[in-house]
């Protein structure tokens, strides 16, 4: 009996099972990443080259989440990126449970100033944010949120694609600046000393 079972060919998964498996893999990738993922990344997870298939599956998953009474949602962002996140109405009640923030207030203000003003010279950032910003720049560069490019004797600062992905922002500069303004991360910079 055992030998007979071993010689039977494995049953191929039905198309429905295959689709459910792909949806589960996309959902898993979005959950584990904790940031927006592009079509190419999601395609690598489900091992396909078809961007249309990935987009269709991600949109199907988004619709499933919309139909569920859940605190989570999947959003389709600009540049065909998708993110699994907590619905905004639940954030205030559970925010205190989140792990320590990536950046303290000072470096976050320096980063938001760079993001909104980019490309911007390092000298200008230091003039506006103060000498303590040198430490901020080092910290946010180590986190791969900005890059410095030497242009002659000047260093020009820009955000990285990782910055846009991590914060769920557009890769397009104009779109990113609109989003930063909308969420209130852009404010007049001050020279006050912050850690």
Kindly report the CATH number assigned to the domain that includes residue 50: 1.10.10.10
66 and 22 together in one domain: yes
Does residue 171 lie in a domain region? Answer: yes
- CB-CB neighbours of 28 under 10 Å: 12
pLDDT at residue 2, as a whole number: 45
85 and 111 together in one domain: no
E strands in the chain: 37-38, 72-77, 81-86, 120-121, 146-151, 154-159
Domain end (from 65, 90, 115): 90
115 and 168 together in one domain: yes
User: Nearest 5°: CA angle at 98, between 43 and 171?
Assistant: 40
HEC profile of 56-72 = HHHHHHHHHHHHCCCCE
> How far is Cα 174 from Cα 46, in angstroms, rounded to an integer?
32
pLDDT at residue 90, as a whole number: 81
Instruction: Answer for the pair 42, 82: CB distance below 8 angstroms, yes or no.
Output: yes
pLDDT at residue 161, as a whole number: 86
pLDDT at residue 12, as a whole number: 63
Question: Residue 87: helix, strand or coil by DSSP?
Answer: coil
86 and 37 together in one domain: yes
- CB-CB neighbours of 68 under 10 Å: 10
> How far is Cα 139 from Cα 133, in angstroms, rounded to an integer?
10
178 and 116 together in one domain: yes
In tens digits, the chain (195 residues) has pLDDT values of 444 444 445 556 688 888 899 999 999 999 988 888 889 999 999 999 999 999 999 999 999 999 999 999 998 887 788 989 888 888 777 777 776 666 788 888 899 899 989 999 999 999 999 999 999 999 899 888 999 999 889 999 999 888 887 777 888 888 888 888 877 666 544 443 344
pLDDT at residue 5, as a whole number: 42
Does residue 121 lie in a domain region? Answer: yes
25 and 75 together in one domain: yes
pLDDT at residue 101, as a whole number: 66
pTM: 0.56
Does residue 2 lie in a domain region? Answer: no
Strands 72-77 vs 120-121: parallel, antiparallel or unpaired = unpaired
- Number of structural domains (the chain) is 2
Does residue 190 lie in a domain region? Answer: no
Instruction: Answer for the pair 74, 62: CB distance below 8 angstroms, yes or no.
Output: yes
User: Domain containing 155: what range?
Assistant: 105-182
């Amino acid at each position: 009996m055992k030998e007979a079972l071993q010689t039977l060919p494995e049953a191929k998964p039905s198309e429905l099972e295959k689709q459910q498996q792909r949806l589960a893999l996309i959902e898993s990738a979005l959950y584990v990443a904790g940031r927006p993922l592009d079509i190419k990344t999601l395609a690598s997870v489900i091992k396909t080259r078809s961007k249309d298939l990935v987009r269709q599956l991600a949109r199907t998953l988004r619709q499933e989440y919309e139909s569920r009474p859940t605190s989570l949602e999947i959003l389709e962002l600009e540049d065909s990126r998708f993110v699994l996140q907590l619905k905004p109405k639940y954030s205030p009640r559970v925010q205190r449970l989140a792990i320590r923030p990536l950046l303290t207030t000072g470096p976050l203000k320096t980063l938001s100033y760079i993001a909104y003003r980019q490309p911007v010279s390092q000298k200008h950032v230091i003039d506006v944010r103060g000498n303590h910003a040198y430490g901020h720049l080092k910290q946010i560069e180590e986190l791969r949120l900005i890059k410095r490019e030497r242009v002659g004797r000047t260093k020009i600062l820009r955000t990285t694609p990782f910055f846009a992905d991590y914060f769920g922002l557009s890769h397009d500069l104009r779109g990113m600046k609109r989003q930063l303004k909308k969420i209130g991360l852009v404010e007049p910079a001050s020279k006050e000393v912050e850690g």
